[in-house]
Amino acid sequence: MQKLIHLVMDYAPGDLACAEVVSALAAQIPADYHWHITSVNSFDTVSTGFVVGQLGNQCEARRPKDTLIYANCAPRKDRREARTNNEGEGFLYGILNSGVGVMAVNSGYSLSFVREELKELWAIQVDVGGSQFRSRDNFPKLVGMAARGEKDFLIERLDPMKVIAPPPASAVGYVDSFGNLKTTIRDGDPILAKLEPGQRVRVVINDVEMAATVAAGSFNVHEGDIAFSPGSSGHASKFWEIFQRGGSAWHTYRKPRPGSVITIKA
């Protein structure tokens, strides 16, 4: 039976840093594990959290039973003053209601999209300093232990609602390779309550305002038009997307970063 580790990180796939992290992990991970790398932009904890939520909350029919996520995006912005010995944000271990294990640096929004699905969350015994490159030097050994079912590194149980920030409201959550803007607005959000399929709205991101059609699906608009519609992410509670048919909504909105606030004007 296959086992899977998702490596979510803000290193580019072809970068030397990525190669070193993969090498360090390969020295620790059991041979029966496969892995997949998902990259986000540097210091982008919003996209990191969005990816962790989408992969971690998958039903078992869409993933191996033994799935572990290792997420590392550590801008070290939890405090502004100078750091001693390269100290960074804490490294946590959790188990989701889906059964997926998560090991992640608790930075920004990296764990926000699974905040309410964590049935267990633990602080980990790990040196948080001593290296500028913790994802290579400090963390792989612990990821290997978790993959083997060893939990000796757990030191304190935590309340996710107290130590993890909620996800950003009404914001860009992730930009996919087609330029679609996956938002943090999802089914049931009050913003959607007064909208009807076919309705024209104004969607504003970073002072760029464009007309869009509320659609039942992304292809329910003409070529070149912008749709605001339920997307493919979010599982039972879909995140809505801003999609430009035949184009890139990301380029049209002048390349907004994840976390940029979205305003819907009916």
Could you list the beta-strand ranges (E) of 13-153.
33-39, 66-72, 91-96, 101-105, 118-124
Token representation of residue 148: 């083997």
Instruction: Please give the angle made by the CA atoms of 252, 15 and 142, to the nearest 5 degrees.
Output: 110
Q: Structural domains in the chain?
A: 3-163 (3.40.50.10790), 172-265 (2.40.30.90)
- pLDDT reported for residue 221: 75
Per the DSSP assignment, residues forming a β-bridge with 3 are 33, 66
Chunk the chain into consecutive blocks of 10 residues (it has 266) and report each block's average pLDDT, rounded to whole numbers. Answer: 92 91 95 94 97 96 96 68 45 97 96 98 80 84 95 95 97 97 97 93 97 78 89 96 95 98 94
What is the C-alpha separation between 238 and 192, in angstroms, rounded? 12
What is the C-alpha separation between 221 and 198, in angstroms, rounded? 9
* Phi/psi of residue 218, nearest 5 degrees: -65, -25
Pick from 71, 144, 98, 79: nearest CA to 236 = 98
Token representation of residue 17: 């840093």
The 10 Å CB-count burial string (b at 16+, else e) for 36-64 is eebbbeeebbbbbbbbbbbbbbeeeeebe
pTM: 0.92
- pLDDT reported for residue 76: 53
Q: Note whether 20 and 26 are within 8 A (CB).
A: no
What is the C-alpha separation between 80 and 89, in angstroms, rounded? 12
Per the DSSP assignment, residues forming a β-bridge with 35 are 5
What is the C-alpha separation between 49 and 128, in angstroms, rounded? 21
Residue type, 92: L
- pLDDT reported for residue 218: 53
- pLDDT reported for residue 216: 77
- pLDDT reported for residue 80: 46
Name every residue whose Cβ is closer than 8 Å to that of residue 181 and which is 6 or more positions away in sequence.
172, 175, 205, 241, 242, 243, 249, 250, 253, 256
